[in-house]
Chain A
């Protein structure tokens, strides 16, 4: 792809695929302005998809949302340029999102989702054509083969509440090629082969797409670090770097000054400023003097993001755990991983605190207390927990209403608003955001109090002013 100045020499691609596969950067020329604008439009689509997923929308809704986002953002006045915009924007974003593992993971996930939803909108012809494109040598199962597994196929169809069509086509595919279908028990598997219905072909193709893109991103990263970044340092590099940070928001890996806390304040602060997920973990830790791995990660990284220093973190966890397992065992078995989280051990990655999206999609099991209470708690338990936070019955009802509609982050936002008595327009996307917003509110109230000498919140007096 060649980036040129203000001159424009459009190049038409001869063969227009029904859905671009982004196999290789095509020989197109792009204006510098379009470089940035196209990418931002596409980023709006990807961000919208991320948002929809974090609200727990199901496949059908997501499909429509993706279509809507695409139509709204990816148009072009010149019809022949629509495909070019698609391709160019993808490749620009590859540059932006190839640079760290977290960025790659996010981009890979959203692009694959986007691809899948777009593919679902196309018909079986396109889907079959893409199977060929991806060199998926899967043949349709013969009638004889189908006879032998008919009972199982029928049962699987019934488990979706659909009858098995008499002439249904199935593809016989090694099970490891379709992990999503296997994981969801959405296919019949026999002797290592999965029998895939036509409409599940999309999943197949999407998995291939993802795997190709994953490898491509690693290659792009190598090229970026070795040549492109330096070569383009006056032209593209600043654009690429700006594109990324303007959309993902702060990741709370570097806690800001005013948010530093010490362990003697922590109980008070947990009550006033922790979001429910962290409050629950914190309370369970105080109660049981223990948390399982998932909980230690979720709470531990949150505390790091909030400003708890490593030494204080070690003292804090040790004070709790030693009441259950003894201080020797703590030093032997748990201290290492706390240091690991702070980037002082092993491969020295400084781990970032989990965002709401990550927490919502986690799967707490037996003995776990992590995850998102709005998603993972039963109604009863959630109402009780909210009540303990001092929220009025009316507000609890509003929150439960959001939960029932699977808008977990909106539920948390409403909780924030109820606890702090002000509105939160941005919405909660990250537990550390909840915390820093909460601290901002409480401390501004302290300032206001100091000015007019009237205590608004009892808690405000026990907080340190920044």
Chain B
């Protein structure tokens, strides 16, 4: 080789190395999509917020104040679903490190959180003998589970396990209806909304009052939120009384109407085909009205209305006729509202909320089918949440790879996409919650002291 060629060769090599360091990073660090024990090991080793979960579940009982209940955390049930569908119930831990070590060692595919029992779940058999139900749940967050498959009859963009930005609107609506009610009506403050990892959302209400609710009280709250009843065998699934609506429904309707008219109508093309508009006509119990509308729309097929307007226009027709006041048939009074409610009002899984001993997936778990992290959702900005952009396990591992050498081990999560979620979890949920728990522990401790002082004087 000539001198020049050698020099050129070296130059090439230098360029290659620079390329390696900058442009082709993706190739070096690329982690194929997937969900498996190896990935999980890294996730639980470096990213999963063990300490935060421990702090949350302790509700201030960290032993630092004399009023703390040192047995509290140890009475909480966790359950692990391992590889091969092995299911371990009644797992309990006495410290943060026990929790962390067990998760790292067992590498569960799913972690569920259950209630706090009267005694350590590991000792439950000792108490079963007396037959007096001494082993019983005493505290559990009030939870809600909203799943997209319950809306399959009103979404046309996807079905089954699929989810897209169009139908995700239904989850946005659910949060915007339920969250204000939990705060304004029920007076709860410590509320965490979490993406379920695939096609829904969970809500954790963690106020002390909420945790101590009985099954009957939980049931009453779930019923307060229920509007949609029935199934394919019944006809009308939303039945509102003809007189005025309860203030909760009135307030919710404002949200529903906004999204129904501004979003769902077009995105779901609710009136664009005969099959679809017939579904809506079915909800109108007046033959003369439905045949009038049908006639109008069958004619319109031939006209040149652009596809975008067809849904908005036809909805306008429906509203006009139903509100025109010429109807004499009963059951038409709230028909417009019933249609809007049917298509958009939140559909809760009642059983999840009603029972204290229900086990619900922990936040920050990874969904096995999608690889996505169950990240918290900010209810004040839920319209911006995009389920298709939630970090996946493989993406996070890639980001860790890119971290390189010389980085601090402690807060690796902070340099990944998970950082934002954990910081949000801490600042908007965990810290205010712990502050309020500490206050409660102090207050009740002081009250007990006061009481014993006064009784001593007698």
- Please list the residues of chain A having a beta carbon within 8 angstroms of any beta carbon in chain B: 151-152, 155-156, 158-161, 175-176, 179-180, 182-185, 188-193, 280, 293, 332, 363-369, 373, 376-378, 380-381
User: Which of B211-219, B302-310, B420-428 forms part of the interface with chain A?
Assistant: B211-219
> Is A155 in contact with B223, judged by CB distance below 8 angstroms?
no
Q: Which of B184-220 contact A (CB under 8 A)?
A: 184-188, 209, 213-214, 216-217, 219-220
> Is B233 in contact with A378, judged by CB distance below 8 angstroms?
yes
> Is B246 in contact with A364, judged by CB distance below 8 angstroms?
no
Q: Please measure, in the bound complex, the distance between the C-alpha atom of A368 and the C-alpha atom of B229, giving whole angstroms.
A: 11
> Is A188 in contact with B223, judged by CB distance below 8 angstroms?
no
> Is A156 in contact with B246, judged by CB distance below 8 angstroms?
yes
Q: Please measure, in the bound complex, the distance between the C-alpha atom of A364 and the C-alpha atom of B230, giving whole angstroms.
A: 6
Q: Please measure, in the bound complex, the distance between the C-alpha atom of A332 and the C-alpha atom of B85, giving whole angstroms.
A: 9
> Is A378 in contact with B234, judged by CB distance below 8 angstroms?
yes
> Is A191 in contact with B150, judged by CB distance below 8 angstroms?
no
B248 surroundings in chain A (CB, below 8 A) = 185, 189
Indicate whether B407 reaches chain A with its CB closer than 8 angstroms.
no
> Is A189 in contact with B185, judged by CB distance below 8 angstroms?
yes
> Is B347 in contact with A366, judged by CB distance below 8 angstroms?
yes
B213 surroundings in chain A (CB, below 8 A) = 176
Closest to A180 in B: B220
Contacts beyond the supplied A183-B224, A189-B186, A192-B209: 10 A-B pairs with Cβ under 8 Å: A159-B245, A160-B243, A175-B186, A176-B214, A185-B248, A190-B185, A293-B351, A367-B232, A368-B231, A369-B233
Closest to A187 in B: B246
Q: Please measure, in the bound complex, the distance between the C-alpha atom of A452 and the C-alpha atom of B186, giving whole angstroms.
A: 72
Q: List 29 A-B contacts (CB under 8 A).
A: A151-B247, A152-B247, A155-B244, A155-B245, A156-B247, A159-B246, A160-B243, A161-B243, A175-B186, A176-B209, A176-B217, A176-B220, A179-B220, A182-B221, A182-B223, A189-B185, A189-B186, A190-B185, A191-B185, A192-B188, A193-B187, A332-B85, A364-B233, A365-B229, A366-B231, A369-B231, A373-B233, A378-B236, A381-B235
> Is B220 in contact with A182, judged by CB distance below 8 angstroms?
yes
What 5 A-B pairs have minimum CB-CB distances, sorted nearest first? A192-B187, A179-B220, A378-B235, A183-B223, A158-B244
> Is B219 in contact with A179, judged by CB distance below 8 angstroms?
yes
- Please list the residues of chain B having a beta carbon within 8 angstroms of any beta carbon in chain A: 85, 150, 153, 184-188, 209, 213-214, 216-217, 219-221, 223-224, 228-236, 241, 243-250, 347, 350-351
> Is A155 in contact with B231, judged by CB distance below 8 angstroms?
no
Knowing A155-B244, A156-B246 are in contact, say whether A381-B150 is a contact too (CB < 8 A): no
> Is B184 in contact with A365, judged by CB distance below 8 angstroms?
no
Instruction: Say how far A336's CB is from chain B's closest CB, in angstroms.
Output: 11
> Is B250 in contact with A155, judged by CB distance below 8 angstroms?
yes
> Is A185 in contact with B235, judged by CB distance below 8 angstroms?
no
> Is B186 in contact with A158, judged by CB distance below 8 angstroms?
no
Instruction: Say how far B76's CB is from chain A's closest CB, in angstroms.
Output: 21
B185 surroundings in chain A (CB, below 8 A) = 175, 189-191
A376 surroundings in chain B (CB, below 8 A) = 230, 233-234
A332 surroundings in chain B (CB, below 8 A) = 85
> Is A185 in contact with B224, judged by CB distance below 8 angstroms?
yes
Q: Which of B185, B233, B245 has the most CB of A within 10 A?
A: B233
Q: Please measure, in the bound complex, the distance between the C-alpha atom of A152 and the C-alpha atom of B244, giving whole angstroms.
A: 12
A380 surroundings in chain B (CB, below 8 A) = 235
Instruction: Say how far B204's CB is from chain A's closest CB, in angstroms.
Output: 18
Instruction: Say how far A409's CB is from chain B's closest CB, in angstroms.
Output: 19
Q: Please measure, in the bound complex, the distance between the C-alpha atom of A368 and the C-alpha atom of B232, giving whole angstroms.
A: 8
Q: Please measure, in the bound complex, the distance between the C-alpha atom of A376 and the C-alpha atom of B235, giving whole angstroms.
A: 9
A369 surroundings in chain B (CB, below 8 A) = 231, 233
A161 surroundings in chain B (CB, below 8 A) = 243
Instruction: Say how far A320's CB is from chain B's closest CB, in angstroms.
Output: 19
Q: Please measure, in the bound complex, the distance between the C-alpha atom of A77 and the C-alpha atom of B211, giving whole angstroms.
A: 53
> Is A155 in contact with B233, judged by CB distance below 8 angstroms?
no
Knowing A176-B217, A185-B248 are in contact, say whether A377-B233 is a contact too (CB < 8 A): yes
B150 surroundings in chain A (CB, below 8 A) = 366
Q: Which of B150, B231, B234, B247 has the most CB of A within 10 A?
A: B247
B85 surroundings in chain A (CB, below 8 A) = 332
Closest to A182 in B: B220
B347 surroundings in chain A (CB, below 8 A) = 366
Knowing A192-B186, A365-B230 are in contact, say whether A159-B244 is a contact too (CB < 8 A): yes
Closest to B183 in A: A191
Q: Please measure, in the bound complex, the distance between the C-alpha atom of A397 and the C-alpha atom of B421, giving whole angstroms.
A: 61
A184 surroundings in chain B (CB, below 8 A) = 223
Closest to A191 in B: B187
Q: Please measure, in the bound complex, the distance between the C-alpha atom of A351 and the C-alpha atom of B224, giving whole angstroms.
A: 30
Q: Please measure, in the bound complex, the distance between the C-alpha atom of A332 and the C-alpha atom of B86, giving whole angstroms.
A: 10
B249 surroundings in chain A (CB, below 8 A) = 185
A365 surroundings in chain B (CB, below 8 A) = 228-231, 350
Knowing A192-B187, A192-B209 are in contact, say whether A159-B241 is a contact too (CB < 8 A): yes
A152 surroundings in chain B (CB, below 8 A) = 247
> Is B234 in contact with A185, judged by CB distance below 8 angstroms?
no
Q: Please measure, in the bound complex, the distance between the C-alpha atom of A185 and the C-alpha atom of B223, giving whole angstroms.
A: 8
B216 surroundings in chain A (CB, below 8 A) = 179
> Is B220 in contact with A190, judged by CB distance below 8 angstroms?
no
Q: Please measure, in the bound complex, the distance between the C-alpha atom of A160 and the C-alpha atom of B243, giving whole angstroms.
A: 7
Q: Please measure, in the bound complex, the distance between the C-alpha atom of A179 and the C-alpha atom of B241, giving whole angstroms.
A: 21
> Is A377 in contact with B234, judged by CB distance below 8 angstroms?
yes
> Is A155 in contact with B220, judged by CB distance below 8 angstroms?
no
B187 surroundings in chain A (CB, below 8 A) = 190-193
Q: Which of A185, A190, A367 has the most CB of B within 10 A?
A: A185
Q: Please measure, in the bound complex, the distance between the C-alpha atom of A376 and the C-alpha atom of B231, giving whole angstroms.
A: 9
A364 surroundings in chain B (CB, below 8 A) = 230-231, 233
Q: Please measure, in the bound complex, the distance between the C-alpha atom of A301 and the C-alpha atom of B411, giving whole angstroms.
A: 54
Instruction: Say how far A365's CB is from chain B's closest CB, in angstroms.
Output: 6
Closest to A333 in B: B85
Closest to B210 in A: A176
Instruction: Say how far B187's CB is from chain A's closest CB, in angstroms.
Output: 3
> Is A363 in contact with B229, judged by CB distance below 8 angstroms?
yes
Instruction: Say how far A164's CB is from chain B's closest CB, in angstroms.
Output: 11
> Is A191 in contact with B243, judged by CB distance below 8 angstroms?
no
Q: Please measure, in the bound complex, the distance between the C-alpha atom of A365 and the C-alpha atom of B153, giving whole angstroms.
A: 13
Q: Please measure, in the bound complex, the distance between the C-alpha atom of A155 and the C-alpha atom of B236, giving whole angstroms.
A: 24
Q: Please measure, in the bound complex, the distance between the C-alpha atom of A192 and the C-alpha atom of B183, giving whole angstroms.
A: 9
> Is B184 in contact with A191, judged by CB distance below 8 angstroms?
yes
> Is B234 in contact with A158, judged by CB distance below 8 angstroms?
no
Closest to A332 in B: B85
Q: Which of B244, B246, B248, B347 has the most CB of A within 10 A?
A: B246
Instruction: Say how far A325's CB is from chain B's closest CB, in angstroms.
Output: 13
Knowing A190-B184, A192-B187, A365-B229 are in contact, say whether A179-B217 is a contact too (CB < 8 A): yes
Q: Please measure, in the bound complex, the distance between the C-alpha atom of A246 and the C-alpha atom of B153, giving whole angstroms.
A: 48
Q: Please measure, in the bound complex, the distance between the C-alpha atom of A156 and the C-alpha atom of B185, giving whole angstroms.
A: 13
Q: Please measure, in the bound complex, the distance between the C-alpha atom of A364 and the C-alpha atom of B351, giving whole angstroms.
A: 12
Q: Please measure, in the bound complex, the distance between the C-alpha atom of A161 and the C-alpha atom of B236, giving whole angstroms.
A: 22
Instruction: Say how far A226's CB is from chain B's closest CB, in angstroms.
Output: 12
Q: Please measure, in the bound complex, the distance between the C-alpha atom of A366 and the C-alpha atom of B147, giving whole angstroms.
A: 12
